[in-house]
Amino acid sequence: NPCSEPLAGFKEVQPVVFSSIYPVDSEDYEELHTSIDRLKLNDASLVYEKDSSAALGFGFRCGFLGLLHLEVVQERLEREFGLSIVFTSPSVQYHLFLKNGEDHFIDNPLEFPDPMQIEYVEEPYIKATLITPAEFVGGIIKLCLEKRGVQESMRYLDEKRVEMVYDMPLAEVIFDFYDRLKSISRGYASFDYEIADFRRTDLVRLDIMVNGQVVDALSQLVFRENAVPRARVVCKKLREEIPRQQFKIPIQGAIGSTIIARETISALRKDVTAKCYGGDISRKRKLLEKQKEGKKRMKMVGNVEVPQSAFLSVLKSD
């Protein structure tokens, strides 16, 4: 004798943090698919769909309830199923309003339309509650201001503990906020949040280019004022991880056609003048010019493979 309609008060949970998962070894794709299916059986809040990247191959775009949920899924895939996986930079869901009157939600940087088509963009804000020992209040206030937070209230729970409530963008929390909070408070501060509403923001798509080619897996949606420091961090990390080649490798951060950050991996150089003992300097110059021309041709046709460790280092900087 089933009910004619479901009980009131139940609603489907909606993901708020998004990231793509790729296997380190492309041959593990089917195993990753099976593993996520099995996780879904006892975690109804996990949302996923097939995805692909020119740099990382085939994978899955997943939605999570928050950062803790993302970390739990990552740990379970690695420990329970023994998979080696790569997560792309986490993102939140933005609400785009276009000039033609349409509006839709996006969470993938690759879906970000031409800025000329956009009327305005809204991003999710959270109500964050922090409880900390009083001695760390100054450092935590400074951190929240860096993350575009606006203080709503502050009260002393007792002589030693303070509760602070902030309004801040969810996108700021998913980049290193929790780690820095624990560092400032020596692990004593607690942090909890709930989704509040959507508010207007100045959003841009940050692309990372290696040797002139966009690495789609490293593209991010960021607040315009944060784009330059964010691009510098990513470029510096990649310079440390990508192996040197026989030609110079430029690593650039760009918004559209505007370059906002750059690092260069210097070329490996063979000493072509080693066999020249004395003699006319023009011979050495001729050999060096010949080497220079060869490196130019090599740069035009050379492809740079970005190692998995480079993707992991960028995520760690988050």
How confident is residue 306, by pLDDT bands cut at 50, 70 and 90? Answer: low
Residue 127, in any domain of the structure: yes
- Extract the tokens encoding 316: 């760690």
User: What is the model's pLDDT at position 129?
Assistant: 92
User: What is the model's pLDDT at position 132?
Assistant: 92
Long-range contacts of 193-198 (CB under 8 A, 24+ apart): 193/126, 193/127, 193/128, 193/129, 194/126, 194/127, 195/16, 195/124, 195/125, 195/126, 195/170, 196/124, 196/125, 196/126, 196/127, 196/167, 197/124, 197/125, 198/95, 198/122, 198/123, 198/124, 198/125
Cα–Cα distance between 15 and 198 in angstroms, integer? 15
Residue 93, in any domain of the structure: no
Weakest-pLDDT range from 64-78, 96-110, 215-229, 304-318: 304-318
Co-location of 129 and 182 in the same domain: yes
How confident is residue 315, by pLDDT bands cut at 50, 70 and 90? Answer: low
Cα–Cα distance between 316 and 176 in angstroms, integer? 9
Res. 305: pLDDT tops 70: no
Domain containing residue 30: CATH number: 3.30.70.870
How confident is residue 311, by pLDDT bands cut at 50, 70 and 90? Answer: low
Mean predicted confidence (pLDDT) in 257-271: 81
User: What is the three-class DSSP state of 87?
Assistant: strand
- Asked which of 67, 88, 109 is the last residue of a domain, the reply is 88
More confident of the two residues 256 and 5 = 256
Mean predicted confidence (pLDDT) in 249-253: 88
Mean per-residue pLDDT over the chain, rounded: 82
User: What is the model's pLDDT at position 26?
Assistant: 80
pTM listed for this prediction? 0.73
CA 130 to chain centre: 25
Domain containing residue 188: CATH number: 3.30.70.240
The string of pLDDT tens digits covering residues 50-93 is: 888 776 788 898 888 877 788 888 889 888 888 888 887 788 88
User: What is the model's pLDDT at position 200?
Assistant: 92
- Asked which of 186, 201, 216 is the last residue of a domain, the reply is 201
Co-location of 131 and 159 in the same domain: yes
User: What is the model's pLDDT at position 59?
Assistant: 87
User: What is the three-class DSSP state of 229?
Assistant: helix
More confident of the two residues 189 and 286 = 189
User: What is the model's pLDDT at position 165?
Assistant: 93
Dihedral angle sign, alpha carbons of residues 293, 294, 300, 303? negative
Please answer whether residues 128 and 168 qualify as being in contact, where contact means their C-beta atoms are separated by less than 8 angstroms. yes
Co-location of 164 and 258 in the same domain: no
Mean predicted confidence (pLDDT) in 3-9: 75
How confident is residue 121, by pLDDT bands cut at 50, 70 and 90? Answer: very high
| Cα–Cα nearest to 247, from 267, 265, 262 | 267
Co-location of 62 and 162 in the same domain: no
For tokens 């023009």, the residue is 282
Mean predicted confidence (pLDDT) in 233-242: 86
Res. 298: pLDDT tops 50: no
Co-location of 136 and 72 in the same domain: no
Domain containing residue 264: CATH number: 3.30.70.2570
Res. 318: pLDDT tops 50: no
Domain span holding position 278: 205-317
Residue 97, in any domain of the structure: no
Residue 162, in any domain of the structure: yes
Cα–Cα distance between 182 and 186 in angstroms, integer? 6
Residue 49, in any domain of the structure: yes
How confident is residue 49, by pLDDT bands cut at 50, 70 and 90? Answer: confident
User: What is the three-class DSSP state of 113?
Assistant: coil
Using CA atoms of 172, 173, 174, 178 in order, give the dihedral in degrees to the nearest 10.
140
Co-location of 212 and 308 in the same domain: yes
Residue 180, in any domain of the structure: yes
Co-location of 21 and 83 in the same domain: yes
Residues counted in the chain: 318
Co-location of 278 and 309 in the same domain: yes
Co-location of 180 and 210 in the same domain: no
Co-location of 306 and 212 in the same domain: yes
Res. 161: pLDDT tops 50: yes
User: What is the model's pLDDT at position 3?
Assistant: 78
| Cα–Cα nearest to 249, from 229, 271, 237, 265 | 265
Co-location of 310 and 215 in the same domain: yes
User: What is the model's pLDDT at position 299?
Assistant: 42
Percent of the chain scored above 90 by pLDDT?
21
Mean predicted confidence (pLDDT) in 198-214: 88
Please answer whether residues 222 and 203 qualify as being in contact, where contact means their C-beta atoms are separated by less than 8 angstroms. yes
- Asked which of 152, 172, 201 is the last residue of a domain, the reply is 201
Mean predicted confidence (pLDDT) in 148-167: 91
The string of pLDDT tens digits covering residues 223-235 is: 998 889 989 988 8
Residue 102, in any domain of the structure: no
User: What is the model's pLDDT at position 301?
Assistant: 41
DSSP per-residue string spanning 230-291: HHHHHHHHHHHHSPP-SS-EEEEEEETTEEEEEEEEPPP---TTTT--SS-HHHHHHHHHHH
Q: 174: which residues sit within 8 A by CB, 6+ positions away?
A: 17, 67, 90, 91, 92, 318
Number of domains in the chain: 3
Please answer whether residues 121 and 169 qualify as being in contact, where contact means their C-beta atoms are separated by less than 8 angstroms. no
Co-location of 129 and 157 in the same domain: yes
Residue 112, in any domain of the structure: no
